[in-house]
Amino acid sequence: MSFRRDLTLAGILPHLARDAAGWRIVYQGVTLRSAFQPVVSITHKRVVGYEALLRATNASGHLIAPDQLFARAKATGPALALERLTRCVHFANFAEQNVETGWLFVNALPQLLRVGASHRAFTDELCDYFGLPHHRVVFEMIEQASTDEPQFERIVDSLRERDLLIAIDDFGTGFSNFDRVWRMRPDIVKLDRSLVARIAAPGADHQFATQLVTMLHRAGTMVLGEGVESEDELMTLMEADVDFVQGFWLGKPASSVASASSDAPARIESMWQRFHARAPSAPGTPVELASIEEAVLSGARAYKSTGGLAAAAQLTFRAPWAQRVFVVSRQGDQLQPSIASKPHSGPARLAPLFPDTASNWSRRAYFKRALASPGRVAIMGPHYSLTEGKDCYTAAVTVETNGQIEVFCVDFVANVETSSPDDR
């Protein structure tokens, strides 16, 4: 096949061939086939999509890694041919299996999207010919820089305008970072396998994963953890509120969608059973919301009646999880030092942040929520404490003293046994 002449869908279709393993195309001695891996929605407890993966073999039947195959090709020539041939094979194999619902994830090289109108026409022709609506196709932008980022962004906008979904692949490596998320506003961000392994490793701070996912959600994107190979990795992603997962633990790639997904129902059921039965991620007995509210309100009432923070703090510290008590004005200013349950000066590395008087905490969510609902306890966390130098939670409630509204605040830990003297 001459890629210069036959890159239209009409030119490619005659080269599609069918055998027992599915549709294939032979290009320059390399046979291109498809394999599919299921994408599972944790919340919906079912398979919601399939990533199409290239399986390429040479004339001797030996596998060729897709990265190596594309690396040998030039961006404006054979790489474009390979990209279009591969997509055609994937669409043909996926459409033939009559998958009624679910997304089809296909990889896309950013530098090849710069071809503009011809790329748009080819994608539309593929969807029309194989009967796959645009809203069921997810383009994965793999981790490579585009030679023309503004043009690339215009092409991405064009895809989105036609209801095609956009995903950023390999997030956490190379060019797939927050800068691209801010500019592209993708529908889905895929956490790279290496990142998943690091955040789920023994001893890793799992709150990092939670905060990362929260940031991506606030950027308006769904999050997919890829390369899941163990239950522990899956549990970490579930606790972090990741939306979707894929990997060998849930289903290995196969030419048949049904075969690739055959283990998924049982795996989904087992992951939820373990999630519900799991022990808390941190040691100790989890603090109950009712006990938090009771302790904070008791301390706030004592502060209102006496005006003395020390006495109110000692009453609050009857709760073993309470670490620090402080009061701020309606404007968020802290006018008197906070009181810790165990006297200490804070971590030496945070010495420039002490004393904590004259601080302003009006940007914190607990402060805003407490003012918005006077008399009700607002809770925020986990967040990084600028006095403890680690994650903590904060509960706050408004209190009226001498005609002035103040906010009574308590820093606390999530599990009682973690509040040992060494931790404070």
pLDDT at 217: 92
Q: Report the pLDDT averaged over residues 161-177.
A: 83
Q: Domain locations in the chain?
A: 9-277, 289-423
Region for residue 346 given its phi and psi (left: phi exceeds 0; alpha: psi -120 to 50; beta: otherwise): left
Asked if pLDDT for residue 110 goes beyond 90, the answer is no
Q: Taking all residues of the chain, what is their mean pLDDT, rounded to a whole number?
A: 87
**What homologous superfamily is domain 289-423 in, according to CATH?**
PAS domain (3.30.450.20)
Give the pLDDT band of residue 295 (cuts 50, 70, 90).
very high
pLDDT tens readout for residues 314-324: 999 999 999 99
pLDDT at 274: 93
Got the DSSP string for 170-234? EETBTTBSHHHHHHH--SEEEEPHHHHHHHTSTT--HHHHHHHHHHHHHTT-EEEE----SHHHH
> pTM for this one?
0.80
- Range ranked top by mean pLDDT from 59-68, 76-85, 280-289: 59-68
φ and ψ at residue 256, rounded to 5 degrees? -95, 125
More confident residue, 206 or 196: 196
Identify which of 299, 343, 345 has the alpha carbon closest to the alpha carbon of residue 319. 299
More confident residue, 148 or 260: 260
pLDDT at 421: 36
CATH among 3.20.20.450, 3.40.50.150, 3.40.190.10, 3.40.50.10490 for 9-277? 3.20.20.450
- Distance, CA of 328 to CA of 337 (rounded, Å): 10
Contacts of 288 (CB under 8 A, 6+ apart): none
pLDDT at 419: 39
pLDDT at 229: 94
The proportion of the chain whose per-residue pLDDT surpasses 70, expressed as a percent, equals 87
pLDDT at 91: 98
Asked if residues 149 and 121 have their Cβ atoms less than 8 Å apart, the reply is no
Asked if pLDDT for residue 4 goes beyond 90, the answer is no
Q: Report the pLDDT averaged over residues 8-17.
A: 93
Q: Report the pLDDT averaged over residues 3-9.
A: 69
Q: Report the pLDDT averaged over residues 22-39.
A: 96
pLDDT at 422: 37
In the structure encoding, which two tokens stand for residue 180, read together? 């691209």
pLDDT at 391: 82
In the structure encoding, which two tokens stand for residue 231, read together? 């239950």
Asked if pLDDT for residue 118 goes beyond 80, the answer is no
| Cβ neighbours, 10 Å, residue 284 | 16
Residue 30, SS3 per DSSP: strand
pLDDT tens readout for residues 204-242: 877 788 889 989 998 999 999 999 999 999 999 999 999
Give the pLDDT band of residue 278 (cuts 50, 70, 90).
confident
Identify the helix (H) or strand (E) that includes residue 23.
strand 22-27
More confident residue, 304 or 110: 304
Helix spans in 200-316 (H): 206-218, 231-239, 257-260, 264-277, 289-306, 309-316
The greatest distance separating any two alpha carbons of the chain, rounded to the nearest whole angstrom, comes to: 88
pLDDT at 420: 39
pLDDT tens readout for residues 360-415: 999 999 999 999 999 999 999 888 888 888 888 999 999 999 899 999 999 998 76
Q: Which residues make beta-bridge pairs with 166?
A: 139
pLDDT at 149: 67
Residue 412, SS3 per DSSP: strand
| Cβ neighbours, 10 Å, residue 140 | 22
Q: Which residues make beta-bridge pairs with 33?
A: 55
